[in-house]
Amino acid sequence: NAGVTQTPKFQVLKTGQSMTLQCAQDMNHEYMSWYRQDPGMGLRLIHYSVGAGITDQGEVPNGYNVSRSTTEDFPLRLLSAAPSQTSVYFCASSTDYEQYFGPGTRLTVT
Amino acid sequence: DQQVKQNSPSLSVQEGRISILNCDYTNSMFDYFLWYKKYPAEGPTFLISISSIKDKNEDGRFTVFLNKSAKHLSLHIVPSQPGDSAVYFCAAALYGNKLVFGAGTILRVKS
């Protein structure tokens, strides 16, 4: 089991560019979510999905888009990157409360 | 409006002694609480959890205590080891799998 995998590990974007952060899990978990971690803020929920075809917004969804076409994959799209989106992004999956996290993507927007 | 607060940004403890990490919450509807541990450049890993219907849960060196009337939970690590040095996040669950995290506490265990 690879668990939760995320690509890329690092990314630098210019303001206004778009990109997709990839997340995949091989544990057949229905629930998947995206968080961002900023200094002094803990992890904040961006979007989540309770199963293929079903997504919903979390605490900080603005500027991000998600879709869930398969159980395994849950990509996060930045539509037009802004410096405020500089952060570390974590994807997680679970069947219940205990969530399994990926290793993270460190994104810098200049 | 932070619903989950970890008021101590850092804690330093001698090896072999007890580490106590604290967490306060404001929403009485939270029904499940978890502690996660995070090393640099890695994702958080689940450590221990407790349901709102219990007041204590123990797993080896780790014990979590919940005081619902005070809306407070704490994580005790006994004895502390250098490998426990990490960032510890408290999280609370509302409406199923959605977690609300605290800002984290950096634990340093000195040998």
Task: Please give the pLDDT value at position A96.
Answer: 87
Return the residue of A nearest to B35 by Cα. Answer: A98
Say yes or no for a CB contact (<8 Å) between B45 and A101: yes
Token readout for B88 is: 């510890």
Q: Is the dihedral of CA A49, B102, A64, A7 positive or negative?
A: negative
Task: Show which of residues 29-48 on chain B sit within 8 Å of chain A, judged by CB atoms.
Answer: 32, 34, 36, 41-46
B91-102: average pLDDT: 87
pLDDT at residue A40 greater than cutoff 90: no
Pick from A31, A35, A104: CB nearest B97: A31
Beta bridge partners of A106: A10, A88
Say yes or no for a CB contact (<8 Å) between A99 and B99: yes
**pLDDT tens, position by position, A69-98:** 999 999 999 999 999 999 999 999 998 889
Which of helix, strand or coil describes residue A84? helix
**pLDDT tens, position by position, B18-57:** 999 999 999 999 999 999 999 999 999 999 999 999 999 9
Task: Please give the pLDDT value at position A27.
Answer: 95
CA–CA distance, B63 with B50 (Å, rounded to integer): 10
